[in-house]
Amino acid sequence: MDILATLLKLVLAIALGGLIGLEREASQKPAGFRTNILVCVGSTMMMTLAVLLVQSKGGSPDTLVRMAAGVITGMGFLGAGTILQARGTIAGLTTASTLWLVAGLGLVIGAGYYVPALIFTALTITTLLLFGKIEASYLHKSQFHYHIKAKARPYLLSSLRKLALHHGVRLERLAMKQEGASYLLTFAFSASEEKEQEFNQGLLELADIEELKID
């Protein structure tokens, strides 16, 4: 029974952590699908181990509290890494907070509270999706549409995605086609004017721009 219960917890951790990770991956964030799964599974394993020790070895219930505190403290280091990766911009704060929440989700699953874990996951995804749209629409952000003609070179598209990731912007309607020795790229994103200027500076350093039009 202990083995089946443990397997159920791990499967649920993979599923719920993966759902949150999919949203992060779709938003092109540093900590995406696999990272969120690993964090959720890891914290679930830790709490499950603590529960088994208390049940089978007669350990103190304080073990559960200490284990939870250790996991949450450890997540601070991983979360700090995601913020430092995007230093100079506000990108990374939501990702770090999400990792912290996913670690908490794993603790809830490991403790055997499955229904609260499902509710917690639904609220987290709703917050990321719904309030992300509200933030993009109403909180001092503008929509920028790019039309670029650049000299063809290898890995231009992947380099552009990495640039967007670094500056914390999500490229929308990204398309590219070749015209002779050049690439024609079109995309859009929502951001503040300050972040848009930072992105433009990186873009000019990234590729040999022949034509650039921003609407």
Q: For residue 194, what is the domain's CATH number?
A: 3.30.70.260
Can you give the residue range of the structural domain that contains 44? 2-137
- Looking at residue 128, the DSSP 8-state letter turns out to be H
Contact 32, 24 (CB under 8 A): yes
Domain boundary residue, one of 115, 137, 159: 137
Confidence at residue 89, expressed as pLDDT on a 0 to 100 scale: 43
* SS3 letters across 34-74: HHHHHHHHHHHHHHHHHHHHHHHHCCCCHHHHHHHHHHHHH
Per-residue CA distances from 149 to 93, 134, 170, 196 (Å): 33, 32, 20, 18
205 Cβ contact partners less than 8 Å away, ≥ 6 residues apart: none
Which run of H or of E encompasses 18? helix 2-26
Alpha-carbon Rg for the chain, nearest whole angstrom, is 21
Picking from 117, 137, 157, the residue at the C-terminal end of a domain is 137
How much is the pLDDT for 168? 77
Question: Does residue 79 share a domain with residue 29?
Answer: yes
**Spatial CB neighbours of 51, under 8 Å, sequence gap ≥ 6:** 64, 110, 111, 112
**How many other C-beta atoms can be found within 10 angstroms of the C-beta atom of residue 45?**
17
Nearest to 159 by CA among 201, 202, 193, 190: 202
Query: Rounded to the nearest 5°, which phi and psi values hold at 183?
Result: -110, 140
Whether 188 and 97 share a structural domain = no
Q: What single DSSP character describes residue 141?
A: -
Q: What is d(CA 81, CA 211) in angstroms, rounded to the nearest whole number?
A: 36
What is the helix (H) or strand (E) element at residue 108, kind and residue range? helix 93-110
Do 102 and 22 form a contact (C-beta atoms < 8 A)? no
Residues 132 and 177 in one domain: no
The number of domains in the chain is 2
Co-location of 146 and 181 in the same domain: yes
pLDDT value at position 140? 56
Under 8 Å between Cβ of 149 and 184:
yes
* Statement to judge: residues 76 and 169 lie in one domain: no
The pLDDT profile of the chain, 215 residues, written as one tens digit per residue, is: 478 888 999 999 999 999 998 888 887 777 778 888 999 999 999 888 888 878 776 666 677 777 777 777 777 666 666 655 443 444 567 778 888 889 999 989 988 899 999 999 999 898 888 876 666 555 556 778 888 888 877 777 888 888 888 877 888 888 888 888 888 888 888 777 777 888 888 888 776 777 878 87
Which of 81, 102, 137 delimits the end of a domain?
Answer: 137
